[in-house]
């Protein structure tokens, strides 16, 4: 671990934050200008129509996010307003500040700069920094989870569990990660008087309530046959070469693999319309294919390097680095595309720069 004075930490934080904001602004501007020629739907956010409906209730997906967007007037008509683009840009910065802090504490200055440059210039992250997408709360939850496991102390523990539960209220994809975090809490903390048991128990009850309110939607989500590469479509394709019963078994195995690939590289339209998108969604077919495979190769490279980092010098506590990927579990059979991966990208990029001797959670499992 690197040791710096408080003044140095403050200066480094301002420097890295300024660096991030400068290059993120450039990459967002380029994406805004470039993609508008490639795809007129650059700022389409069709889910906002659903979130602005008045007949949703506590059992609807991301109910509190729906209340938020209706309260602030965020909808498909105001999506492109300067006010909301600016708010989205700042909110996306706030969500990655834990990683800036971690880069100062754990990485060399050179590695910190490379991390910030990679993070700020990623085109898909740049695109979503201009939207108040519900996944912003997933990004926040994962960032504070990383802060806890990589810089474990009483403050980061309290921040992570409180903000994770808070974020889960707005983004149900975090539910598996919060349960994983509670598992670690009860596994690692024997003396609950020291961690204010009443507060933990209250957060635990909130998590139970949120899980119960979203479980029916979760079942519906996993069972839906959404898009071009759904379980049903894969099964129909395999029935042409296999017996119906055997094709169903093979489809159960193949579908998660296909959906992982979609999560790593496919825009939402690809999962709906297949790789050769209609001209109104992708005016340049070759460019669309190139971008898709570029994202797939880059993200696969990051994921493979993460597995190498975990298993090359394996320690059980390193498996906690995989817990954030639990947000992708519903996508293995439900709808799958790169939007569900983007909350993980800051975490996935940061791990690439971690020193080999970093102590995760400090205490061995």
* Calpha distance 143→140 (Å, rounded): 5
Contact between 298 and 324 under an 8 Å Cβ cutoff? The reply is no
Q: Are 62 and 170 in contact (CB under 8 A)?
A: yes
Q: What's the token pair of residue 232?
A: 């049903």
Q: Residue length, the chain?
A: 365
Tokens of 277: 């998108």
Name the band, by pLDDT with cuts 50, 70 and 90, for residue 194: low
144 found inside a domain: no
pLDDT tens digits, one per residue of 146-187: 999 999 888 888 889 999 999 999 999 999 999 999 988 888
Q: What pLDDT, in 10s, does the model give residues 294-328?
A: 999 999 999 999 999 999 888 888 999 999 999 99
Note whether residue 323 is domain-resident: yes
pLDDT tens for 108-150 read 999 999 999 999 999 999 988 988 999 999 999 999 999 999 9
Q: Is residue 339 part of a domain?
A: yes
Number of domains observed in the structure of the chain: 1
- Is 145 a domain residue? no
Note if the pTM is more than 0.85. Answer: yes
Which structure tokens are listed for 290? 């190139």
What average pLDDT is seen over the chain?
86
Whether the Cβ atoms of residue 267 and residue 337 lie closer than 8 Å to each other: yes
**Coil, helix or strand at residue 131:** coil
Q: For residue 299, is it within any domain?
A: yes
pLDDT digits (tens, 9 = 90+) for 249-262: 888 999 999 999 99
In a domain, 78, yes or no: no
Instruction: Find all residues with CB under 8 Å of 66, minimum gap 6, and list them.
Output: 50, 51, 52, 53, 56, 60
* Exposed/middle/buried for residue 278 (C-beta within 10 Å: 0-12, 13-18, 19+): exposed
Residue given tokens 């791990």 in the structure block: 351
Cα gap 226→229, rounded to integer Å: 8
* Dihedral-angle region of residue 252 (phi above 0 means left; psi in -120 to 50 means alpha; beta otherwise): alpha
- 322 within domain boundaries: yes
pLDDT of residue 52: 85
SS (H, E, C) 293-350: HHHHHHHHHHHHHHHHHHHHCCCHHHHHHHHHHHHHHHHHCCCCCHHHCHHHHHHHHH
Task: Give 229-234's long-range contacts (Cβ < 8 A, gap of 24+).
Answer: 229/255, 229/258, 229/259, 229/262, 229/271, 229/274, 229/336, 230/255, 231/255, 231/333, 234/258
Whether residue 6 has pLDDT greater than 80: no
Question: Residue 158 carries which DSSP code?
Answer: H
Q: Confidence band (pLDDT; 50, 70, 90) for 364?
A: very low
For residue range 12-56, what is the model confidence (pLDDT) as tens digits?
A: 999 999 999 999 999 988 887 777 666 655 566 777 888 888 788
Range of 332's domain?
225-365
pLDDT at 365 over 50: no
The confidence band for 189, taking pLDDT boundaries of 50, 70 and 90, is: low
Does residue 293 belong to any structural domain of this protein?
Answer: yes
Q: Are 338 and 295 in contact (CB under 8 A)?
A: yes
């Amino acid at each position: 671990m690197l040791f710096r004075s408080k003044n140095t930490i403050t200066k480094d934080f301002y420097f890295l934050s300024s660096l991030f904001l400068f290059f993120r602004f450039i990459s967002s501007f380029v994406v805004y200008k470039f993609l508008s020629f490639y795809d007129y739907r650059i700022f389409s956010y069709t889910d906002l129509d659903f979130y602005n409906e008045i007949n949703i209730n506590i059992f609807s997906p991301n109910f509190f996010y729906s209340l938020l967007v209706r309260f602030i007037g965020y909808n498909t008509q105001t999506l492109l307003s300067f006010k909301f683009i600016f708010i989205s840009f700042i909110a996306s910065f706030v969500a990655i500040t834990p990683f800036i802090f971690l880069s100062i504490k754990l990485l060399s200055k050179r590695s910190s700069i490379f991390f910030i440059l990679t993070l700020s210039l990623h085109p898909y992250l740049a695109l979503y920094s201009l939207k108040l997408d519900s996944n912003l709360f997933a990004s926040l939850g994962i960032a504070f989870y990383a802060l806890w496991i990589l810089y474990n102390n009483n403050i980061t523990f309290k921040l992570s569990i409180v903000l994770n539960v808070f974020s889960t209220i707005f983004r149900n994809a975090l539910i598996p990660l919060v349960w994983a975090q509670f598992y670690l809490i009860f596994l690692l903390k024997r003396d609950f008087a020291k961690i204010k048991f009443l507060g933990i128990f209250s957060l635990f009850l909130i998590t139970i309530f949120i899980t119960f309110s979203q479980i029916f939607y979760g079942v519906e989500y996993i069972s839906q046959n959404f898009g071009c590469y759904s379980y049903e479509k894969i099964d129909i394709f395999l029935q042409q070469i296999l017996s119906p019963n055997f094709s169903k078994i093979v489809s159960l195995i193949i579908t998660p693999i296909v959906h992982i690939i979609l999560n790593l590289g496919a825009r939402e339209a690809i999962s709906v319309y297949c790789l050769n998108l209609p001209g109104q969604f992708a005016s340049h077919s070759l460019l669309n294919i190139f971008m898709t495979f570029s994202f797939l190769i880059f993200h696969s490279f990051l994921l493979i390097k993460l597995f190498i980092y975990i298993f090359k010098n394996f320690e059980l506590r390193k498996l906690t680095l995989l817990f954030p990927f639990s947000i992708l579990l519903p996508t293995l059979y439900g709808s799958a595309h790169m939007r569900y991966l983007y909350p993980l990208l800051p975490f996935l990029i940061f791990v690439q720069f971690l020193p080999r001797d970093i102590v995760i959670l400090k205490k061995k499992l």
